[in-house]
Amino acid sequence: MKGGVLIQLARRIFVRNFYLKFIAIILTLALYIWVSEDRETVVAGYAPVRIVVPDDMTLVSDPIDRVKVTFRGRWSDINRFDPSDIDPLRIDLSPADRDRVVSITSDMIGVPPAIRVTDIEPSSMYVDLEPEIFKNVPVRPRISGDPRASYTVTDIRVIPRTVTLRGPESRLQDIDSVRTEHIDITGRTEPLRREIRLDIDDGLVTAELDAPVSLEIDIETEEIEETLSEVSVDAVNTSYEASIDPEAANLTVRGPESVVSEFDRELIRVEIDLSEEDNRPPGTYSRRAEVVNLPPELELERIHPDRFRVITTEAQPDPSPDEDEDLTGDPGEESL
């Protein structure tokens, strides 16, 4: 009898509402596992560093851009925490921080209350501040090479000619000029116009510019002189017979070597304009001559002589055919 009661009691305990009891056991087991596993965990990450420098001061020591931070907390809290989302660590400097070590503490890092900061590497930063000054210096173009043969550099201009540098006092006191990037003009035959960069190799020194720096290099052919000797002098714009003394002139021209060496000398003419004298009686005059057909790239340096003696006379009529026969005579008689 008693055995039957025990069996029925056991059946009520384990069989009645079996599914509900099974689910309760599973939940209890899961809760136990979760509670037992939610122990403290350690994780590390990197926090960016933002350094705030006082106005009119410059940080000349090497800055820290990030620090390694070690965090500790329960696994469930750590699992919801992303170290990469840490806000930048802000370090506010003051003029009193010159040449000293600034500590980096856990209260500078914002984390959830359930998580603790246990370690920071590095935990300090050496700070050296200097006054920031401005200095005006000339710009020196850095140019190498030579133009092509028979060409020469006639002028070099940098715009602006001076720039204002900004930086630590100790860095600027030894700078008396700033150079441009390297420009090579080897073999050039034309002028150069372009914007250029300033070559400042100190990261703490900057140039205060309102507009880009530009470089202008004028390149021209070399000029030479050449003398044209015994160029015939002609009278023009006259109905008179004209006698010119001397009959030839020497011309000295100047211009680019390429033009001087190639222009056609046969086209050059020296003329005396007698249009005004043509309205006057024949006579003797002292007149200057003009050079025509000279290439526009060439310049007349001098003409020798600079004045000419011109004698005008009435033009002689051409002999008629009868006069020609009288002058030549009878061929028959000449043969006798």
At 336 the pLDDT is 27
In this structure, what token pair is assigned to residue 276?
A: 């005004």
The answer to the question of residue 57 being in a domain is: yes
Whether residues 229 and 196 fall in one domain: no
The answer to the question of residue 2 being in a domain is: no
Other CB atoms within a 10 A radius of the CB of residue 306 amount to 9
The answer to the question of residue 321 being in a domain is: no
Whether residues 195 and 232 fall in one domain: no
Predicted structure pTM score = 0.54
Render pLDDT for 10-43 as a digit per residue (tens, 0 to 9).
566 555 666 666 677 777 766 655 555 557 788 8
- Full domain range(s) for residue 231: 223-313
The answer to the question of residue 185 being in a domain is: yes
Query: Where is the domain boundary, 107, 127, 147?
Result: 127
Render pLDDT for 171-225 as a digit per residue (tens, 0 to 9).
898 899 999 999 999 999 899 999 999 999 888 899 998 889 999 999 988 888 8
Question: Which residue stretches of the chain have pLDDT < 70?
Answer: 1-22, 29-38, 318-336
The answer to the question of residue 335 being in a domain is: no
